[in-house]
Amino acid sequence: MSGSPIYETFARVPLAFERGEGAFLFTTDGERYLDFAAGIAVNALGHSHPHLVAALTEQAGKLWHVSNLYEIPAQTRLAERLVEASFADKVFFTNSGAEALECAIKTARRYHYVSGHPERFRTITFEGAFHGRTLATIAAGGQEKYLEGYGPKVEGFDQVPFGDLEAVEKAITPETAAILIEPVQGEGGIRAVPAATLKKLRELADKHGLLLIFDEVQCGVGRTGKLFAHEWAGIAPDLMAIAKGIGGGFPMGACLATDEAARGMTAGVHGTTFGGNPLAMAVGNAVLDVVLAEGFLEDVQRKALLLKQGLAAVADEFPTVIADIRGSGLMLGLKCVVPNKDLNNALRDQHMLAVTAGDNVIRLLPPLTVTDGEIHDALARLRAAAGSLAGTAAVAAQ
Ligand SMILES: *Cc1c(COP(=O)(O)O)cnc(C)c1O
């Protein structure tokens, strides 16, 4: 054996955290980091949120796991609440985002199958998309770097350029089953799909009898200041995958569907061992207690504006480092002039955590519970980080 006993698939930063509190993480050496990465939008309520800790520990003393062969009341309750708060009528719980997408893709294929059209199995996706790392979801994402070396790409995915409605229309064939899109691309570089484009996709789906699938694994559950990002566009999908934020750090995901879209999903056609497990459901319900509380999402919108305006001021101050601010709610991107990795490292030198994304962007995904004070703290650290790079960037430009 050489090096770490862990697969070398992640280029890890040599930092280990042992404790978290709200928007802060503490290393094993006792150093404190301001966490504007939040586990890539997973720790939606920050670290060690008292309501989540109580829900998980209380459930842990009662029952950890029962098979989906039995009724799981907390699962029914969480599904009822998600249905109540969304377009959906039915929910399937999973352990991860990729599995939620797999369920959505399978549901769309089954819908056409039971409607007498087994030939309709193809899904249209968009360049820059990220839908997970299973064999089907890397095919859906269509990124060469994730597909390489894994044999023939899973059949049934047709990719078109980001936001190109004409290309979507051209890509629709008698075999098309669905259109799959992230309302705000995460890994692709915090690229929000314009509301008009989402509306047009809804129209195209209706016109051609396709199912519209939204991947809200990263942008859902309050991240943009609405419970779901597509609410800003005033339209709804037929199917939606969520994950990251709904577990607040506990691994879970869900596929939400209308009754019509889910009509092919009958007993025995899909399953999961761990999905919808009582521990996950206790936490998922606790996350919703907080996110759906009166005024919570309005406050996310208010704080998002504060952060975005502050970021715009820093970008103005350091135009050789940051070109532009983009994104929605507390899902913001800094389009960098310098390599995004350099800015990410400079932020880490300031003891602040962010995440890189495609298109030379730095993602800022603070906990939705972030305070105004922590936002000002983050802006000061960003200013220091940008300042440390501005000198070298100016010299390089000469
Ligand atoms: C993270 C992510 C996924 C994959 O989720 P996993 O839990 O890693 O499988 C899918 N879609 C989007 C938009 C994501 O951000």
Taking CA atoms only, the protein residue closest to ligand 1 atom 11 is 131
- What is the Cα–Cα distance from 320 to 379, expressed in whole angstroms? 17
Which residue from 217, 221, 224 has its CB within 8 A of the most atoms of ligand 1, so it is best to mutate?
A: 217
CA 130 – ligand 1 centroid, Å: 7
Taking CA atoms only, the protein residue closest to ligand 1 atom 10 is 131
Q: What pLDDT shows up at residue 396? A: 61
Q: What pLDDT shows up at residue 395? A: 62
Q: What is the DSSP letter of 231?
A: G
Closest residue by Cα to residue 240 from 269, 211, 274, 208? 211
Which residue from 10, 130, 214 has its CB within 8 A of the most atoms of ligand 1, so it is best to mutate?
A: 130
- What is the Cα–Cα distance from 55 to 336, expressed in whole angstroms? 40
The residue assigned the tokens 């299973």 is 134
Domains by residue range for the chain, with CATH: 17-48+296-397 (3.90.1150.10), 63-291 (3.40.640.10)
Residues with CB under 6 A from ligand 1: 96-98, 101, 130-132, 182, 186, 215, 217-218, 243-244
CA 186 – ligand 1 centroid, Å: 9
Q: Are 363 and 356 in contact (CB under 8 A)?
A: yes
- Angle 212-216-217 (CA atoms, 0-180°, nearest 5)? 130
Q: Which atom, in ligand 1's list, is nearest to the CA of 243?
A: 7
Alpha-helix residue ranges (DSSP H) falling in 115-230: 135-141, 144-147, 165-171, 195-208
Per DSSP, the three-state class of 122 is strand
Q: Would you list the DSSP string of 274-332? A: STT-HHHHHHHHHHHHHHTSTTHHHHHHHHHHHHHHHHHHHHHH-TTTEEEEEEETTEE
CA 313 – ligand 1 centroid, Å: 31
Q: Are 320 and 337 in contact (CB under 8 A)?
A: yes
Q: Mind listing the pLDDT tens digit of every residue in the chain (398 residues)?
A: 678 999 999 999 999 999 999 999 999 999 999 999 999 999 999 999 999 999 999 999 999 999 999 999 999 999 999 999 999 999 999 999 999 999 999 999 999 999 999 999 999 999 999 999 999 999 999 999 999 999 999 999 999 999 999 999 999 999 999 999 999 999 999 999 999 999 999 999 999 999 999 999 999 999 999 999 999 999 999 999 999 999 999 999 999 999 999 999 999 999 999 999 999 999 999 999 999 999 999 999 999 999 999 999 999 999 999 999 999 999 999 999 999 999 999 999 999 999 999 999 999 999 999 999 999 999 999 999 999 999 776 666 55
Q: What pLDDT shows up at residue 3? A: 84
| CA torsion, ordered 14, 16, 22, 24, to nearest 10 deg | -50
Residue type, 275: G
Q: What pLDDT shows up at residue 393? A: 63
Residues 6+ apart with CB under 8 A from 105: 123, 136, 140, 178, 180, 213
Q: Are 256 and 239 in contact (CB under 8 A)?
A: yes
Q: Please enumerate, by residue number, every residue annotated as part of a binding site for N(2)-acetyl-L-ornithine.
A: 133, 272
